């Protein structure tokens, strides 16, 4: 099974102590975001958790725990989102140079004799949005500088263009869709820059229009990406959940080959407060939930409630035992 964090909140940035407490106790309790009284109990032991998948804008708070996670037998894959935006769009995100330094340290810590760290560490440059001063040329030049800095620490970069979810429109009304000619110019340039720095540029759920320029359109978190990180073949069930934030399911092969795991986070708990965020309703709701957080609780927010309907997750390992030959 794949245990995910990052679709609902940024656990490494804000809840690393809580997460490690869950690892040490071997389980976590997760509320259904649409039916809160439905609670799922997941085991977090490495015999069933084949991959711990993280998505973060700041891996630094988790760096002291990477060695422990590896010694406990957990395989990991990390996405680190680093964009070109300033505090007016990403007010709670640390300085980008510091995040890139942390990403290089993360990659070094994740590597071992079988799998280099760059196969377990991927960069996300998303969402891409166009507004002053962040025009096409600005994105291209910033991406070039970042790619040069991250070269060797990552070998994959995922890009996507802003999705105008209802929450995004409400919290960021001046944002607009990225036009086709802008997408083409960015995709073409990013692919060239990535190639020059040993980084494959991938898009996810963006159609096929960037494929002619060398962008890998198979998805950001595919079975192959996971197998490269784990160093083993994975028998992943064909039915997966994608784009969960819309409340809809996407079947494998229906525009997305990504494999999504079981997310243990909670919406309305991320204090990066990015204006394009789909996972927060508003600032007040986030601050209210933060006050309910207890690092010792099995729940990310609050604790057990009267009327909770708790069920054990059906968990099974995906690893087949067949070793995945390393490749550069």
> Tokens standing for 137?
């040329």
Least confident stretch, 23-27, 67-71, 76-80, 280-284: 280-284
Least confident stretch, 104-108, 163-167, 242-246, 301-305: 242-246
225-241 per-position pLDDT tens digit: 989 998 889 888 865 44
Least confident stretch, 117-121, 134-138, 144-148, 245-249: 245-249
* Burial grade of 208 (CB within 10 A; 0-12, 13-18, 19 or more): exposed
Q: Phi then psi for 161, rounded to 5 degrees?
A: -100, 150
> Tokens standing for 179?
């036009």
- Kindly state the average pLDDT of the residues 51-79: 96
8-54 per-position pLDDT tens digit: 999 999 999 999 999 999 999 999 999 999 999 999 999 999 899 99
Torsion on CA atoms 303, 309, 310, 315, rounded to nearest 10: -130
Q: Quote the mean pLDDT of the chain.
A: 90
Q: Rounded to whole angstroms, what are the CA distances from 262 to 58, 89, 165, 234?
A: 21, 29, 22, 16
- As its CATH architecture, domain 2-309 has Alpha-Beta Barrel (3.20)
Q: Answer yes or no: is pLDDT of 327 > 60.
A: no
> Tokens standing for 101?
């330094």
Grouping H, G, I as helix, E, B as strand and the rest as coil, residue 77 is strand
pLDDT level of residue 316 (50, 70, 90 thresholds)? confident
* pLDDT of amino acid 245: 37
Distance CA 287, CA 31 (A): 18
- Kindly state the average pLDDT of the residues 127-144: 97
* pLDDT of amino acid 250: 39
* pLDDT of amino acid 169: 86
- Kindly state the average pLDDT of the residues 50-67: 96
Q: Which pTM does this prediction carry? A: 0.92
pLDDT level of residue 256 (50, 70, 90 thresholds)? low
- Kindly state the average pLDDT of the residues 262-271: 96
Q: Phi then psi for 80, rounded to 5 degrees?
A: -115, 120
pLDDT level of residue 255 (50, 70, 90 thresholds)? low
Which distant-in-sequence residues (6+ apart) come within 8 Å of 31 by Cβ?
A: 37, 38, 39, 266, 299, 301
> Tokens standing for 100?
């890139």
pLDDT level of residue 220 (50, 70, 90 thresholds)? confident
Q: Answer yes or no: is pLDDT of 251 > 60.
A: no
- Kindly state the average pLDDT of the residues 162-171: 85
């Amino acid at each position: 099974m794949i245990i995910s964090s990052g679709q609902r909140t940024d656990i490494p940035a804000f809840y690393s102590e809580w997460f490690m407490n869950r690892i040490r106790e071997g389980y976590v309790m997760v509320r259904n975001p649409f039916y809160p009284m439905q609670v799922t109990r997941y085991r977090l032991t490495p015999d069933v958790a084949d991959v711990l998948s993280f998505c973060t804008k700041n891996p630094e708070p988790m760096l002291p725990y990477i060695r422990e996670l590896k010694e406990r037998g957990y395989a990991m894959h990390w996405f680190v989102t680093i964009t070109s935006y300033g505090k007016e769009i990403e007010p709670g995100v640390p300085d980008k140079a510091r995040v890139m330094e942390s990403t290089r340290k993360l990659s070094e810590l994740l590597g071992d004799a079988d799998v280099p760290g760059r196969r377990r560490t991927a960069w996300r440059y998303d969402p891409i949005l166009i507004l002053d001063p962040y025009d096409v040329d600005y994105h291209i030049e910033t991406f070039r500088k970042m790619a040069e800095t991250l070269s060797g620490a990552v070998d994959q970069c995922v890009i996507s263009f802003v999705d105008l979810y209802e929450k995004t429109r409400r919290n960021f009304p001046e944002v607009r869709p990225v036009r086709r000619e802008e997408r083409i110019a960015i995709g073409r340039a990013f692919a060239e820059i990535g190639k020059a720095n040993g980084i494959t540029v991938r898009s996810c759920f963006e159609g096929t229009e960037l494929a002619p320029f060398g962008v890998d359109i198979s998805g950001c978190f595919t079975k192959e990406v996971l197998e490269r990180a784990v160093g083993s073949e994975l028998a992943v069930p064909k039915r997966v959940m994608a784009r969960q934030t819309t409340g809809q399911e996407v079947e494998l092969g229906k525009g997305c080959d990504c494999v999504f795991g079981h997310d243990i986070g909670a919406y309305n708990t991320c204090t990066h407060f990015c204006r394009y965020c789909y996972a927060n309703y508003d600032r007040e709701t986030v601050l209210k939930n933060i006050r309910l957080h207890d690092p010792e609780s099995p729940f990310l927010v609050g604790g057990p409630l009267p009327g909770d309907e708790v069920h054990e997750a059906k968990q099974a390992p995906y690893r087949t035992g067949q070793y995945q030959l390393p490749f550069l």
